[in-house]
Amino acid sequence: TVAVVLFTSDLRLHDHPPLHAALHAADEVVPLFVRDPAVHAAGFDVPNRAAFLADCLADLDASLRRLGGRLVVRSGPVAREVRAVAAACGATEVHMAAGVTGFAHRREERLRKELDTDGVRLRVHEGVVTALAPGAVTPAGSDHFAVFTPYMRRWSKERLRDPLPAPRAVRVPEAARGEDPPERPAGPDLSPDLPPGGESAGRDRFARWAEADLSRYEDRHDDLAGDATSRLSPYLHFGALSPVEVVRRAREKGGAGAQAFVRQVCWRDFHHQVLASRPEVSLRDYRSREDRWRGEEEAAEDIAAWREGRTGYPVVDAGMRQLRHEGWMHNRARLVVASFLTKTLYVDWRIGARHFLRFLVDGDLVNNQLNWQWVAGTGTDTRPNRVLNPVLQGKRYDPDGGYVRRWVPELADVRGSAVHEPWRLPEHRRARLRYPQPLLDLGEGLARFRQARGRD
Ligand code: FAD
């Protein structure tokens, strides 16, 4: 018997329930990845993520070859390609991970319907993309938790399954035909300092980081210059690492650092269960605050300055430049730049979210949109009107200014925390810096926001 395993956001061999089930049920298995033009049309395959994806697929193929198999890559509408492979190989089952977004749900439905007409069974596995499947825990009277803390309390009590081992051998039928895995793309949007993609790189990173930095995570995760967070987000986004395995391994290590880290992975599950229940909030407000945001036309210059990292607020500019250079930004910087765009500049969160998705190597509809909404106060934050002051945030989370100096070379000669307020430098020094004056006065931004939210 033959089974197909359709890989989507789960590009790994370790702890892979669909692959495990397929190998159990069938003598031969087709590990399949389909490059679906619908993903391209939706604009998700931007260069940074396409490069990381290419690494993931190359690594998956190499790992499968070591087990006697290979990855079968095809291009075309996903249902058409899966049916063609199943028919060519005489497969009776297709296994895949359950998705969360509206796009993933429609894909599943379509596959189920079309495969059904061929007499092929689709088996969708929960708990692959997240540690706990969306809907596994719910509050009384609702299909999802709208507040993080009670969600985490329930989430923490659930026992996660044991991670599954990687297979020892994979036999792929001769008749399974595919193309070469895609090449890494090039182009001006490709960040020069991207991390290497793939399960091997992800496992390696996790092992090294857990050994060296996990125990100090609680104290250091907000330290911008220390850069001590795991940087596992792109691996989790592409499923090159299993969230179940990451949580289980961190818990085995124990301690306050592990606890704080697991809490962050729980945020990821939290957002997934919100979006699974309310797929429309990838674009619409989760909770409308009746905002009349400024848009692309009205705020064109402010938006351009923000995107290009020349707002005159050093920590904002540092974050935005890190995003372009690495395709990644420290979480604390993401919070600051998002608050600055939405609350200080009063620009629609969707404009910021779109820019992030253009560059973030971990960029996804779930975590990106819902974090943007959280910051904009249209999401699940229980203090929707809080505004982060970029100067105070800089002084607190980058007290020596190392993060700013790393990303804003114009300020490289300004010592210590003075780097967060270059406008306070003596005039003769200020004039020599090729760094812009602040785009606007923070007090004015705050007043506009408070008035808009009816809190003045
Ligand atoms: P760590 O601090 O090491 O955390 C471990 C893991 O927990 C992360 O890899 C991530 O998977 C998860 N995690 C941590 N914080 C969050 C969070 N707030 N929400 C959801 N999951 C979290 N994360 C994405 O994965 N994709 C995005 O597109 C994304 N967009 C964001 C946009 C904004 C405006 C903000 C404020 C945050 C966004 N985040 C996003 C969340 C967070 O910033 C990143 O997950 C984190 O910075 C990744 O770095 P790390 O792996 O070193 O995190």
CATH number at residue 307: 1.10.579.10
Based on the domain organization, do 115 and 25 belong to the same domain? yes
Residue 455 has pLDDT above 80, yes or no: no
Final residue of a structural domain among 233, 262, 277: 277
- Residue 39 is predicted with a pLDDT of 85
Q: Which of 234, 181, 194, 189 is nearest to 47 (CA)?
A: 189
CATH number of the domain within which 240 lies: 1.25.40.80
Ligand 1 binding pocket, CB closer than 6 Å = 221, 229-233, 236-237, 261, 264-265, 267-268, 271, 331, 334-335, 338, 356, 360, 362-364, 367-368, 371-372, 375
- β-bridge mates for residue 118, sequence order: none
Backbone angles phi, psi at 74, to 5 degrees: -135, 160
Based on the domain organization, do 271 and 305 belong to the same domain? no
Atom of ligand 1 nearest to the CA of 234: 25
- Residue 40 is predicted with a pLDDT of 82
Distance CA 39, CA 101 (A): 13
The count of domains in the chain is 3
User: How many angstroms is it from 454 CA to the middle of ligand 1?
Assistant: 31
Dihedral of CA atoms 260, 264, 270, 271 in degrees, nearest 10, equals 160
CATH number of the domain within which 93 lies: 3.40.50.620
Based on the domain organization, do 349 and 441 belong to the same domain? yes
Residue with token string 């020599």: 432
Six-digit token string for 80: 């058409």
Six-digit token string for 220: 């250091």
Based on the domain organization, do 406 and 330 belong to the same domain? yes
Residue 388 lies in a domain: yes
Element housing 398 (H / E): none
**Alpha carbons within 13 A on the beta-carbon side of 334:** 24
Distance CA 101, CA 107 (A): 10
Residue type, 59: D
Distance CA 130, CA 265 (A): 9
Residue type, 436: P
Atom of ligand 1 nearest to the CA of 270: 20
Final residue of a structural domain among 73, 108, 128: 128
Listed in sequence order, the residues at least 6 apart from 248 whose beta carbon sits closer than 8 Å to its beta carbon are 160, 162, 163
Burial of 182: CB neighbours in 10 Å, binned 0-12, 13-18, 19+: middle
Atom of ligand 1 nearest to the CA of 330: 47
Based on the domain organization, do 313 and 439 belong to the same domain? yes
Based on the domain organization, do 211 and 335 belong to the same domain? no
In the DSSP assignment, the letter for residue 347 is B
Residue type, 157: K
Based on the domain organization, do 433 and 344 belong to the same domain? yes
User: How many angstroms is it from 130 CA to the middle of ligand 1?
Assistant: 14
Q: What is the mean pLDDT of residues 111-132?
A: 97
Among 180-189, 197-206, 248-257, the minimum mean pLDDT is found in 180-189
Based on the domain organization, do 260 and 358 belong to the same domain? no
Distance CA 262, CA 250 (A): 7
3 state DSSP class of 74: strand
- Residue to substitute in 219, 264, 323 for testing ligand 1 pocket (most ligand atoms within 8 angstroms of CB): 264
Domain of 403 in residue numbering reads as 300-452
456 — pLDDT class (breaks 50, 70, 90):
low
Q: What is the mean pLDDT of residues 199-203?
A: 98
pTM (predicted TM-score): 0.98
3 state DSSP class of 104: helix
Residue with token string 């039928």: 173
Residue identifier of the C-alpha nearest atom 17 of ligand 1? 267
User: How many angstroms is it from 220 CA to the middle of ligand 1?
Assistant: 15
Based on the domain organization, do 338 and 417 belong to the same domain? yes
- Residue 441 is predicted with a pLDDT of 97
Q: Which of 410, 256, 199, 232 is nearest to 321 (CA)?
A: 410
Distance CA 392, CA 374 (A): 20
Final residue of a structural domain among 102, 128, 154: 128
Q: What is the mean pLDDT of residues 216-240?
A: 97
Residue identifier of the C-alpha nearest atom 48 of ligand 1? 233
User: How many angstroms is it from 367 CA to the middle of ligand 1?
Assistant: 7
